């Protein structure tokens, strides 16, 4: 074995011993106590308490809409000839805000054509109104309620 090779092996062995010594020191070093940080210190002072969060969950979601609600137009069929737009509106008001309610009449005679339309202010109220009022009774007739189809 040459002197150079022996010197290289000696340096390698010394590095290995040093590495093992550092590993033992790290393993045997006393553990530092964990540092406790509160959410207020991280986020700032605008942190809600648990009680405030629970109250907000009990009240339900409070949504602030940035856009106005989208209306939905419902077709109401099988109306009685005596049914007026006011009666139609009153029948639907329990299920949401009504933007418009109208019974369609014949232009020449002024008689009811036995169907009408109800425009609900918010489309989210539409399905509940359809479920509740489809096949319900209004002025003695069993009415049909569906989402209105657009004319093309």
Range of the domain at 103: 72-147
What mean pLDDT is predicted for residues 65-76? 87
Q: Which of 137, 69, 77 has its CA nearest to residue 99?
A: 69
Does some domain include residue 34? no
Q: Name the most confidently modeled range: 6-10, 117-121, 147-151.
A: 117-121
Residue 106 belongs to a domain: yes
Nearest Cα residue to 121 out of 78, 152, 151, 92:
92
| Count of the separate structural domains present in the chain | 1
* Whole-number average pLDDT of the chain: 88
Tokens of 107: 């232009």
pLDDT at res. 100: 95
């Amino acid at each position: 074995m040459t002197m150079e090779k022996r010197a290289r092996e000696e340096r390698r062995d010394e590095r290995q011993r040093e590495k093992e010594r550092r590993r033992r020191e790290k393993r045997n070093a006393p553990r530092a106590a964990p540092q406790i940080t509160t959410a207020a210190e991280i986020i700032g002072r605008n942190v809600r308490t648990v009680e405030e969060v629970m109250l907000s969950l009990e009240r339900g979601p409070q949504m602030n809409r940035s856009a106005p609600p989208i209306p939905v137009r419902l077709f109401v069929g099988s109306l009685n000839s005596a049914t007026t737009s006011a009666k139609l509106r009153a029948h639907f008001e329990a299920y949401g805000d009504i933007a418009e309610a109208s019974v369609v009449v014949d232009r020449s005679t002024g008689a009811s054509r036995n169907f009408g339309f109800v425009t609900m202010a918010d489309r989210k109220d539409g399905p509940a109104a359809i479920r509740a009022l489809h096949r319900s009774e209004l002025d003695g007739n069993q009415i049909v309620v569906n989402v209105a189809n657009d004319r093309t």
